[in-house]
Structure 1
Amino acid sequence: MASILKLADPSELAGTWLATLNAAQDPDRLPVGASNECSIDLRPDQTFGAGAPCIAAWLGEQVTGWFPEPDGIAITGKEGSKVLFFSRQHEGLYQGMLQSGQRITFKRAGH
């Protein structure tokens, strides 16, 4: 039986999220000066508040915005193109994969 995915309104995803880079077992794989955990603020206007530099350090490029997709959240770079996709695991939990193979977990703060 097919399921229909609903596109979330940006206001449903806006707020504070905890992002964790799964490099805890190998801290040498973290970019210089980067932490493996940071708080990210997704604004209702689909821009970033606090935390954008943290994600940018993991990606190795500037991030400027985000938008909902039926099955997740897309992060955009300075050219407006999608640079990272977070797949919805369940309510309040998303996961993305860097080109290096490292996983980022994106969890709604307070859950």
Structure 2
Amino acid sequence: MMPTVSHGPPMYKFILVGIIFLFSGVSMASSLVLPSAETLSGQWTVSDKSKSCVVQLNTESVDSAGGYSLKFLSDCTPDVLPQEPAAWRPAPDGIALLDKDGLTVLFFSQEDDHYRSQIWAETGKILKRNN
């Protein structure tokens, strides 16, 4: 009588684990929705402690930056925005301000009724829609 040799767990366990990962990844990805430029367009205030500026997020495309146009409605000091953005783009988890080449100058993550940069530090700049 020859001994049986085990070569590890049956193949169906690997298939089951693969299916679980596949469906959990799909459900996680679909939980974040990309907002449209139309839903985010309008006047917003960017603030850093006691300094702030007002910016208009528009829906006109800026092809070179891969985003949408924006316009400053008040002076924006380097304390508030160290680099002046040329465009903006919605993201599933926030709003990105972009330079003329489409690189992110500053990213604001969604947090309750506003957006915040540097969420890990709790000292980031705030982006809030004006009423």
Q: What is the percentage of aligned positions where both structures have the same residue?
A: 29
Which AA in structure 2 matches 1:60? Answer: P
Aligned residue number for residue 31 of structure 1: none
Q: Which TM-score applies when normalising by structure 2?
A: 0.61
The answer to whether the 8 A contact 2:53-2:72 is kept is: no
Deviation at 1:62, TM superposition (A): 2.7
Does the C-alpha gap of structure 1 residues 82 and 53 become closer, same or farther in structure 2, counting only changes over 3 Å? farther
Moved over 6 A (4+): none
The answer as to 2:122 corresponding to 1:109 is no
The secondary structure found in structure 1 opposite 2:109 is strand
Higher Cα Rg: structure 1 or 2? 2
Which ranges of structure 2 fall in alignment gaps of 5 or more residues? 1-26, 61-67
Q: Which has the higher contact order (CA 8 A, sep 6+)?
A: 1
Q: 1:10 to 1:52 in 2, by over 3 A?
A: farther
Q: In 2, distance between residues paired with 1:42 and 1:75?
A: 10
* Other-structure match for 2:38: 11
Aligned length: 94
CA distance in 2, matches of 1:67, 1:52: 21
Q: Is 1:75 aligned to 2:97, yes or no?
A: yes
Alignment-derived partner of residue 56 in structure 2: 41
Bigger drift between 7-16 and 73-82 goes to: 73-82
Equivalent in 77, 87, 91 of residue 65 of structure 1:
87
Q: Is the 8 Å Cα contact of residues 96 and 104 (structure 2) preserved in structure 1?
A: yes
Task: Give the TM-score of the pair, scaled to structure 1.
Answer: 0.71
If each structure's helix is expressed as a fraction of its own residues, which one has the higher value? 2
Alpha-carbon distance between aligned partners in 1 of 2:110 and 2:41, rounded to the nearest angstrom: 15
Structure 1 unaligned segments of length 5 or more: list them: 25-35
Contact 2:57 2:69 in 1 (8 A): yes
Q: Distance in 2 between matches of 1:11 and 1:37?
A: 24
SS of residue paired to 1:16: strand
